[in-house]
Amino acid sequence: MTTDENLPTLRSIGIKGVEFGINVTVMEPVNLYGCSLGDDVFIGPFVEIQKDVSIGARTRIQSHAFICELVTIGADCFISHGAMFINDLFETGGPAGGDRDQWKSTTLGNRVSIGTNATILPVTICSGVVVGAGSVVVNDITEPGIYAGNPARLIRHL
């Protein structure tokens, strides 16, 4: 039986405090807040992009992607379905919670493609990289190429 004392707290999804470039397309439902989207960006449905995220021009973010705080994505990138970005490495043995001092940033160069269900830990990825589906990127990528696996390794130069 539901009473007033045990009703859940309901929060709405939506778009709040977003800086939009020209000709941006957003497919609802989404949860976008405090981020910046460049010109001609496409955001698919069921995407969450948190504050202090910057998405470069002509980048496409496909459905069910999660882009946490402190991520910068360059221009002409492709983030496939279900890709996850992580900013907390659980360095203290558990989640850092609201302690942003423990969070780390992630930077993707231009023309980076992230495959379906890939996980990107706090790293820097240079321009011209393809990350295979299901891969886990745990180290910086400084050389253009195709990377895949867990942990992601160079498969082939481009």
59-68: pLDDT as tens digits: 999 999 999 9
Q: Is the pLDDT of residue 2 over 80?
A: no
Q: Is the pLDDT of residue 116 over 80?
A: yes
- Percent of the chain scored above 90 by pLDDT? 82
Q: What pLDDT is recorded for position 1?
A: 59
Q: What pLDDT is recorded for position 57?
A: 98
Cα separation, 138 vs 124, in Å, equals 10
Pick the residue with more confidence: 10 or 29?
Answer: 29
Write out the DSSP string of 100-126: GGG---EEE-SS-EE-TT-EE-S-EE-
Q: What pLDDT is recorded for position 12?
A: 81
Q: Is the pLDDT of residue 75 over 90?
A: yes
pTM of full prediction above 0.75:
yes
Question: Hey, which CATH number is domain 15-90+108-156, 3.90.1170.40, 2.160.10.10, 3.40.1280.10, 3.10.20.30?
Answer: 2.160.10.10
Q: What pLDDT is recorded for position 42?
A: 98
Q: What pLDDT is recorded for position 45?
A: 97
The phi, psi pair for 53, rounded to 5°, reads -110, 140
Quickly tell me which residue has 């439902």 as its tokens.
29
Averaged pLDDT for residues 101-106: 92
Q: What pLDDT is recorded for position 87?
A: 94
Q: How confident is the model at residue 24 (pLDDT cuts 50, 70, 90)?
A: very high
